[in-house]
Amino acid sequence: MNPPHPEFFHGWHDFFILLGTACATLVGLMFIAVSIGANIFKEENRPALEVFLGPTVVHFTSVLVLCVLAIIPSQGWLSLAALASLIGFAGFLFSARIWFRLMRSRYELDYIDRFFYTVQPAIGYLIVLFAAALLYEQSEWGLDIAAIGLITLLLAGIRNAWDMMTWIALKVPNAGDESKAKSAANVKPLS
């Protein structure tokens, strides 16, 4: 007989707290990074934001929500399995939608970017779905598999956030360059 939920999950409490805290922090850092690069986020860049920035925040938030749900003391095996399957299924559909948008888009992405923006998150959500099935059966392996799925999503999010922040850093005009250009424009020639 499998141990009851609160007893069994006690050993996982710190893992879910640590992972949830990391994802909450990364979501916050994404908002800070976007505010720093706000001058490049214009209407013409909207499709890129929806394909690259939005999904990264969604993946971090999915991990955060699953971690929060896992540490609710009154959570039962079946309710956690149902919620994990809902998030896994919705996340997989979301990843598939992003994949189709990237395939039809005009963006020139290499295979590594396509993998990390579409395939790896889809794999992470499928692993979460598999974990939900194990949790439904009250298998102790359910949390181990869920951890693999959550870490897969976290790593995809970290890599994609780094990729986007590098892109933003290359696109944002350097403040020093702007002030030099303005001061050069105000300089009058010597007579």
**What's the rounded Cα separation, in Å, for the pair 138 and 7?**
13
**pLDDT one-digit tens code per residue, 3-27:** 445 566 677 888 999 999 999 999 9
Cβ-Cβ contacts under 8 Å for 140 (sequence gap 6 or more): 2, 8
**Residue matched to tokens 């690259």:** 52
In the chain, where are the structural domains located? 5-31+46-171
Q: Which residues of the chain have pLDDT under 50?
A: 1-4, 180-181, 183-185, 187-191
Distances (CA, A) of 182 to 84, 139, 175, 190: 55, 66, 11, 18
Which is it for the CA torsion 153, 159, 162, 168, positive or negative? negative
77-80, long-range: CB < 8 A, 24+ apart: 77/5, 77/135, 77/136, 77/138, 78/136, 80/5, 80/135
CB 95 within 8 A of CB 125: yes
**pLDDT tens digits for range 78-109:** 899 999 999 999 999 999 998 888 887 776 77
- Write down the pTM of the prediction: 0.81
Residue 52: what pLDDT?
77
Can you give the pLDDT at residue 1?
40
